[in-house]
Structure formats: C-alpha cells, structure tokens
Structure 1
C-alpha cells in the first residue's frame, strides 16, 4: 500500500507518542521508508533511540545548519508525505499560525509551502479538542489541504486513531486519485441465513478480500460504501447486514434505488445461494431433520436489471481447482450480467492471507498471485481503468 513511499513522521508531546513505535513498524510493513522528527516535549515521553529502532534512522531532534526541515520536506526533499502522529492541540495551533519553534512545526510549515502532502492524527483530552480555538485551527489547516485523521472519542479523551486509519490516510494522500469523485459500493464476506433463533447456515468467507477492495478504492480517492456483516471501517460508510435478503436491500439502496446513485458496484461477498424459513423457536436435537432450501435472488442480476449502465465487477469462487473451468464460469457470469470483469478463484483461499486469482476480461485472462491487500489494489486499479 505504501511501497516506495517516504514518510516523514512528526511526533509531538502527547502521551499517545508511546504508540508511535508500532505505527512506524506498520508503515514499514506496508512498504514505506520512515524518518522521524520530534518536538522536545515528545522526547520526554518517547526516547529518540526508540524511534531510531523503529525507523532504522536517527530521528531529527533539532534544526541545525544542515537545514533538516528542507532536506526532509522541501520542494526537492526526501519525504513524499509529512505525517504528524500524534499531534497535540499546541502543535495544531502553531501550524495554523505558521509558528515554527519545534522541528515538527518547522517541517510542517516547510511541507505546506512546498506542496508536500500533510496528514495529521490529533490526540488530546476531549475538552481541548472541543476548544473553539483548536477547532478553528483544524478548520484553517484543513482548508489548506491537510488531511486530519479523526480521533476516537473515548473516556473523555480524543484518542489517536488506530493504525489502520492512519496508514490508510497516509496512503490516500500519496496515491494517485484515480477514483476521485466516484462512489463505489463494495460487498464483502459471508451472509448468514437463520434456521432458528440459534442455528444458522453460512459459508467460510472471511471478508478480507472485500475489505481490501474497499480500502484500496478509498485510497484511490473514492467514497466507499461497504456492505457486510463485519466491523466498522475508517475507509468506508459501513452498512451492516446479515442475510442475503438484507444484503440485496442494502446494496439496492446504496447504488441509488433511493437516490444518490453510485458509480460502481464490486460484489466480492460470498452471498448465500439458498435460504430457509426460520423456525420461531429452537429446533430440538436428537431427531433427523429435513430443511427445505429456497434459492435467493441473484444480487448482480437484480441490480443490473434496475441499473443497466452501472459499472459492475463480480467475484466467482469455485472448488474444481481447474483454471479452465473457473474461467468458463467467470466468463458466463460476465457475459450474462454485463460486468466489466470477473475475479475468479478457488475456494481454498477463503480465510487465508495470500490468494491466487484470475482476472477474466473481455477476451483475455490475467493471473494474480499475492496478498489479498495487493489483490484489492489490483481490483481498484482495474475498476478505475474500466470507468475511465
């Protein structure tokens, strides 16, 4: 997600600075090179040696005749993005007023003047975050194009956002916005059909691929609606559903049945093909049981009937292990529904971190092997190309 990206990481004097070591590690796991910059107050919370260990570079702790701020964040500087995490109320206020009295604020002014993207993850007590002057400072800095990663408001504190949110915002700031001004709806994971108040019918889909697609679309500038039975996501408007019927209803609403039409639908979910009439009470065990399964409506076909011009992408999971068979079924789906392309894979990758997938286009097929995060990026890139 951040391959070949240089991140200058500003660390200020919030107690949340103790999380910065792991954040730096995560940035590097995503492919970034990281160099840290600290304020004097930050050094009272986090020793510079810890940041040197986390980044593999000595941190900048003072501005000297070597003009470290220009070397890092100038027009010809090293950094592709300046990330301040955590950012105190003091630092945000100084940024808004162009006050340069710490290495972090000096780098911020330099980056803003040089057109280097700036991302800020504030962390402070909630009353400080609610101060009119702080809110005015945030608004002013945002008006200059700075991206703020909203804090988590818990226990009377505006806690620093989690690593996923910060890394995603950093990637969005440094990735070409090929899906800017697009609304993309993504389905993800399994659906579940209730047999009785306790028992369900479902499948082994983990939702990792769908979430990776949603995140990658957001990173490329899209507004994303994620329809799944999973956690909230900082990169999407989540519509939580359980059954196939609920997913269909939520997708129809999200793509524009209720207005505000979407530009694309990527259906990566493993949607139940069958449902059953739910028993009102727990079915007693100890006896054989026959369930009458009823087919569920096909989501892609239903949406296509209502939105003939919508750009749509489908996923097709098979168990044959035969590429030719998978390609044939994927091509049948693509042609029947009028999809931009179909991603086909063997069901053995469900729940795994790594995957192998076949991209089935009009007349050609390409193979992807790698992480599901990487697959999400590839899907987002192909989607952008299809909509161009």
Structure 2
C-alpha cells in the first residue's frame, strides 16, 4: 500500500471524533507547529487552524496546511468559521500579547474572536506560552496566567532553557491537551499502574533483578492518562524513558518498597489497579553491607520467597477493578490459561493478561 507524503501513523484514539481549533501566534516556537499538528493527527484530531499575522512571518500557511491537512485561516473572511463550535482550543505558542488581549476581551483577529466565543461556551482551552525568561518572570505575567487559570484555562509552561521559557515537546503538549479534554468525560477513574522490574540487593553493588523494560506499563499509563483518567505509576527498574507528562511516578525498585507504596495508595480512593511490574518471586534473605570481596571462591546467596503483591493487597482494595499480568515459559497454552484462571480466583483479580515467553 502506498503512503502519501502527508500521511501519519495512528498512535492512539484520545482525540478521535474531536473537532479542535489550533491557534498559532507569533512566537519563534511557531517553527514547531508542523510537528505539533502531525502529532495531533496521530491521535485522531480533526482540526481548524488559525494563524495570527505575526505567526505567518515565522512559518508559512502552506507548511501549516500540509501538516494539518485542514483549512488554515489567516485573516478575516466572510464564512466566520472561527465561530464554529469546537470541542477544544489549543493555542501554541501563546504570546503574552495574545494572552493579555484575550483576558481583556480584545477582538484583534479571528483567533481572539474564537477564544471569546469559547469562553461563553465553557470550551476547554490549553495555552502554551513561549517567551524570554525576563518576560516570564515579570509579575504582570504571573498575574495574567493566574487570571487565565481562574477562568478555567489550562496553561502549560515549558522548562527554562538558554534564557527562555520554551514550549514542551509536541508529544507532551498533545498528551496534556487530550487529558484536559477527556478528564470531564463520564466514568473517569483513579488508576494505579505498577511497572518495570524489581531488584533485591546481594550487597551494596550487586543484586538480582527481574527483566522488564517497563514499556508495557508506561504505554498503558500513557493511554489511560490521555483518555482523561487520574494515573499514578509505581515504578521499578526500567530501561525505557518515562513519559514526562505522566502526573505522578513513584520510584520503588525494591519489592518491599513497591508493596509499601501500594499499601499506602490503597488508603486513597483508587478504582482500578493494573499490575504490569515484574515482581521478584524470590529475594535475598540477608543482603551484605558494603561490597563482598571478589576472588574468594563460590558465593552462596540464600533466596527466600517474597510477598505476592496482588495477594497482599486483596483485602485492602476489594471492590476495585484489578488487572494482573502473568508470564510463564515452557508450558502448554491450556496450562497457561489454567494458571491465569487460578490467579484470578485466588487473588480476586478482575482479569489476568497471560503470556508465554516463547510467544513474545
């Protein structure tokens, strides 16, 4: 199958069926608009783009139309499409001039008119400011941003780099935007996701560890977050980057530390638990202090059975949705199903995702 130059690979559905208005203002960060718009399409967004006059001096409307595959409004026109009802508005980059003008009800162009109409409709809006550090640190800017948030507008600042408050990367912006839109949908849940491997020390520099990159857990947490759920991750040892937009990731590499964190979280109102972490079945009974000397002949390490997290949590989280993950090797499919079913019954799981190592 041929692939067109404008095509994107779908990565998710968090913006599917959403009509999004994207405003591009005149900050130099507008050069990232092509990446941002293509990322929006990867998650299913249908867009209408409005560019301010100053934005058109940074990036051309032709490039924006290519990236968005939608109409790009650059000035007033008779159709007044900026007044059409949309599900949400994203302004990136958002200059201080645009932010202040919106707060004071100015109508200097189609974008400000669209924002004014959105305010009357209680439409979700995310603004992503981009400006020099001196402007960002101006107390007037703080006042403007505070007033935006009081109006219910989400404001996403980037990190301070090279004397500028730059916009976060396009994946971060789209994830935060999708979460903001979907957080008000029905049946949003508070969810805990465990992920990564766990580690039991032999001494201060050696240990045993389950093999797990954490990729599956992060992918699940990311999807849940983008669809509006309140996600907390409890993270063991991983080998893949943590999505920087996830709101809370608690490090817990040792099995006992992870269990302690989960028990503490169980005191909150958590509606769902997703256990993707590879928790050690056996841990070192008595870790040595310091570093054991090498070249001393065979080393005997006594392993003892560790706590089963899903079993330990059973009483504390009864009534919540609980998803487990189980990996086996060297067994037949029917035995895999039997063991997964036994785990569901014994630990009161809602479901278990079972795999054989040979099939991965």
Give the TM-score, by structure 1 length.
0.78
Deviates more, 1:233-242 or 1:109-118: 109-118
- Offset at residue 13 of structure 1 (A): 1.4
Match of 2:281 in 1: 273
Does the 8 Å CA contact 1:316/1:330 hold for their aligned counterparts?
yes
Number of residue pairs the alignment of both structures matches:
340
**1:333-362 CA distances to partner (integer Å, 9 max, x unpaired)?**
111121222222344677xxxxxxxxxxxx
- Offset at residue 140 of structure 1 (A): 2.9
Match of 2:343 in 1: 333
Q: Partner of 1:304: helix, strand, or coil?
A: coil
Does the 8 Å CA contact 1:265/1:310 hold for their aligned counterparts?
yes
- Offset at residue 16 of structure 1 (A): 1.5
The structure where helix makes up a greater share of residues is 1
**1:109-133 CA distances to partner (integer Å, 9 max, x unpaired)?**
2333344432222222234234333
**1:23-52 CA distances to partner (integer Å, 9 max, x unpaired)?**
112222223234422111212222222212
- 1:318 has 2:328 as partner: yes
- 1:242 has 2:253 as partner: yes
Match of 1:374 in 2: none
Match of 2:170 in 1: 163
Instruction: Say which one has the larger Rg.
Output: 2
Does the 8 Å CA contact 1:92/1:134 hold for their aligned counterparts?
no
Separation in 1, partners of 2:26, 2:359:
44
Query: Is the alpha carbon distance of 1:323 and 1:15 closer, same or farther for their aligned partners in structure 2, counting shifts above 3 Å?
Result: farther
**Which runs of structure 2 are paired with 1:306-385 in the superposition (5 Å)?**
306-320=316-330, 322-347=332-357
- Offset at residue 56 of structure 1 (A): 2.4
Match of 1:188 in 2: 195
Out of 31, 34, 38, the residue aligned to residue 18 of structure 1 is 31
Separation in 2, partners of 1:282, 1:20:
55
Out of 78, 92, 106, the residue aligned to residue 65 of structure 1 is 78
**1:132-174 CA distances to partner (integer Å, 9 max, x unpaired)?**
3333333333333322234224444322123232111222234
Match of 2:9 in 1: none
Query: Is the alpha carbon distance of 1:130 and 1:323 closer, same or farther for their aligned partners in structure 2, counting shifts above 3 Å?
Result: farther
Does the 8 Å CA contact 1:189/1:205 hold for their aligned counterparts?
yes
Does the 8 Å CA contact 1:215/1:236 hold for their aligned counterparts?
no
Stretches of structure 1 lacking an aligned partner (at least 5 in a row): 351-388
**1:63-121 CA distances to partner (integer Å, 9 max, x unpaired)?**
21121312xxx23xxx4322111112211112222212133222222333344432222
Match of 1:255 in 2: 266
- Offset at residue 239 of structure 1 (A): 0.7
Separation in 1, partners of 2:180, 2:316:
35
Separation in 2, partners of 1:239, 1:232:
13
Q: Partner of 1:40: helix, strand, or coil?
A: coil
Query: Is the alpha carbon distance of 1:68 and 1:203 closer, same or farther for their aligned partners in structure 2, counting shifts above 3 Å?
Result: same
**1:178-217 CA distances to partner (integer Å, 9 max, x unpaired)?**
444x432221121222333333322332222212322333
Separation in 2, partners of 1:131, 1:329:
61
Query: Is the alpha carbon distance of 1:8 and 1:94 closer, same or farther for their aligned partners in structure 2, counting shifts above 3 Å?
Result: same
Query: Is the alpha carbon distance of 1:45 and 1:275 closer, same or farther for their aligned partners in structure 2, counting shifts above 3 Å?
Result: same
> Aligned-pair RMSD on alpha carbons?
2.7
**Which runs of structure 2 are paired with 1:220-239 in the superposition (5 Å)?**
220-229=227-236, 231=242, 233-239=244-250
- Offset at residue 321 of structure 1 (A): 7.2
Separation in 1, partners of 2:93, 2:224:
26
Match of 2:7 in 1: none
Separation in 1, partners of 2:324, 2:342:
11
Does the 8 Å CA contact 2:157/2:168 hold for their aligned counterparts?
yes
Separation in 1, partners of 2:178, 2:359:
26
Does the 8 Å CA contact 1:232/1:238 hold for their aligned counterparts?
no
**1:234-293 CA distances to partner (integer Å, 9 max, x unpaired)?**
23211112121221122222222xxx4433322221112222243421552695444322
Query: Is the alpha carbon distance of 1:347 and 1:27 closer, same or farther for their aligned partners in structure 2, counting shifts above 3 Å?
Result: farther
Does the 8 Å CA contact 1:63/1:69 hold for their aligned counterparts?
no
Query: Is the alpha carbon distance of 1:142 and 1:274 closer, same or farther for their aligned partners in structure 2, counting shifts above 3 Å?
Result: same
Q: Partner of 2:72: helix, strand, or coil?
A: coil
